[in-house]
Structure formats: C-alpha cells, structure tokens
Amino acid sequence: MLSPPQPPADVASMPRAALRQWLTDLGQPPFRADQLFHWLHVAQARDWAQMTDLPAALRATLATVASFPQLSVQVDRKSALDGSRKLALATCHGQSIETVLMAMEAGVTQCLSSQVGCKMGCDFCATARIATRANLTAGEIVEQVAIACRLAVEAGRGRGGVAGGQTGMLAGRPRNLVFMGMGEPLDNLDAVIAALDILCDPKGYAFSPRRVTVSTVGLARWVPKLAAAHPGVNLAWSLTATRDEVRDRLMPVNKGVPIAKMVDALRALPANPHRKITFEYALLHGHNDTGDDARSLGRMALEVGAHINAIPFNAWYGTDYRRPPRAVITQFVRDVQATGATISLRESKGQDIGAACGQLAGERAT
C-alpha cells in the first residue's frame, strides 16, 4: 500500500536547530542550515533560485519538499492622525489577519497576530466577533515581520534612504514587537515560541527579548512554559477587571481561570530583572472605572511588581461599550497612583483606521 504524499515542509516555521535537524535528515551538512536560515530571515528570499550559495541540486530538492509562508497584503491603510499603518494580510487558505505598525519615540513598534480570530470571546473586543478560528504557523507569525521589513526597505528607497525623523511617519524596520493583535498567543503557544526562537535568533532578526512583549488574557497554565522558553520576553496580562464577577462577564476565560489563579502564576515566575510584567486595563465606562476598581488594580499590580497600562476603550461598529469621560479617566489614574503603583495612560494609535487595541477584525479587500 502506497503511503500518502507528505505535505511540503514549512521551513520558515523552523527555528535554526530544527532546520539543522531537518537538513541533516536530508543528508546535508549542518552548516547548510545557517545558510538557509540566513536566506529566509535576513535576506528574506522567497525564491529558491535566489539562494545562490546553496548547491543547485539542493535547491531543486527544496523546491519539491519545502514551502514558504504565503501572506499577501490585501489592504494597506495609513492613519491621518498619527502615521500608524494597518496591513490586512491574506493567508494561503484565504483567511484574513491584521498587523499594525506604529511610530513611537523609541522606533517602530509592530503589533502581531497569532491566530485568525480568537476563541477567548472577550465581549469588548472586535476580534471575538470573527467567525473563523485558526492558528497561525510560526512562519506566518514571522512573515508579518518580514513584510514590515520589506516595506521599510521600499519606503527607504522612496525617500532616497533618508529616515523620517520624529514626524509621526514610519521609518525603518520594526524595533519592538508586541503579540497583541488578533488571537490569544498562549492558545497557540508552540507556534509563538518557535516564532520567538526565530525572531530573537542573533543570526535571524536579532530582536532583543527586552523589546518583545507577549500578551495573554490569562491562560495561567501556559505562563511557565513561555517563561522557561524565553525568560527575557516581557509579559502583558489583559486584565480589564479586578473582580471575578465583572471579569466573568467581560472575559469568559475568567470562569475557568479566575483572577487569583493568574496572580499566583505571575508571582511564581522565577525572578528576572530584564522581564517586565504589565497589566493591560481597558477602561469601559460604567463597568470597571470606579475608585474602588482603581485602588484594587493598584494593589494587585504592587503584589506582582507590574506596571499598569490604562487603555480607554476604542469603539468599533456594533458595540455598546463606551470609553469613560476624560474626568473619570483622570481620576482613575490618580486613584491608582495613590496606591503607589505605576500607571501609564495609553491612547491607542490608529483609531481612525480600525487599528487600535480591540478593533482588529480581519479586514478584507473589497
């Protein structure tokens, strides 16, 4: 009985060690892995013929047994408010994901998606309304960064190689990465860890772990695995409520992983002076913006050594949630500060193009 044909190997999803083992199994010397890894993640070649230091016979073999990630830019929107750029990308299966590039004082920050849609069902998030659910491969996660890097090169050529300075315009490749786009990263943890292996590899994209943040709604059981694999990567907890009865309603994941369980998971992490823990707190008027909420939030942050990012709600079509009035937001920040906790008020970028926190909804070309 004939065995079914094997699908092409997804070489762009393989960290360098896995790529070395795969090529060894093909009878190739280990150094070929470094060469192929360089072509994929430094030169970002997407044509076997471009990989000129690989033997022609190996390139012919790779063309039959290996594949590249296929993400195509379907929609490219630029914010008139702050220069942010949202890219809607189509996968090879015809699904849509989004990634956002934001001009910050410390350079370009890219917000990455880890899934198509999201199973977590947070009531205030537009991504939860997407019917399709699928995990992205490590290669598809990394390819979002590759596309951003290629666009930066093209933009540099268009400017004659001159960076945009502090004008609000995007200039250069991403410097910081945040896994805060579509999907729950810890619900697709193996792919996220493999993507981090590639992105932080000094022979690849060479991102410092200090410049990478992974966000979670609170899948406490997977926090130790992420921390063990990448101890220097920053961790953000999308908290948004300090009482279980409120969080159960806003974020259904809380029914299985209540607040105290996630706090215990964060407290149990091995000490690492380079890792930052952040509480992401979406301010929803009439739901979680009282003085008692602020004081509870501050005390919880002090308990685990976390910084707080308060994010006034970003509206999207069809939602009944609203952001609090400015006076309420200001008082909330003061009440948190009174506990001794540190807090930043974060006005999300790209609100006019549906690119802000909670607004990503898998836009498609029309």
Query: Looking at the annotation, which residues are catalytic?
Result: 98, 357
Which pair of tokens denotes residue 278? 């952040």
Q: What backbone torsions phi and psi does residue 185 show, to the nearest 5 degrees?
A: -55, -40
DSSP state of 92: T
From CA 121, how far away is CA 361, in angstroms rounded? 13
Contact 280, 227 (CB under 8 A): no
Determine the straight-line distance between the first and last CA of the chain, rounded to whole angstroms.
Answer: 47
Element (H, E) at 245: helix 244-250
Q: What's the one-letter identity of residue 331? A: Q
Asked whether the beta carbons of 145 and 112 are under 8 A apart, the reply is yes
The DSSP-derived string for 331-366 is: HHHHHHHHTT--EEE---S-GGGT-STT--------
Amino acid in the structure at residue 121 = G
184-204 b/e (C-beta count within 10 Å ≥ 16 → b): bbbbbbebbbbbbbbbbbeeb
CB 87 within 8 A of CB 75: yes
- How far apart are alpha carbons 253 and 75 in whole angstroms? 31
Neighbours of 320 (CB within 10 A): 7
Alpha helices in 26-137 (DSSP H): 31-41, 56-65
Indicate the length of the chain as a whole number.
Answer: 366
- Under a CB-based contact definition with an 8 Å cutoff, are residues 347 and 312 in contact? yes
- Distances from the Cα of 152 to the Cα of 78, 175, 293, angstroms: 14, 12, 42
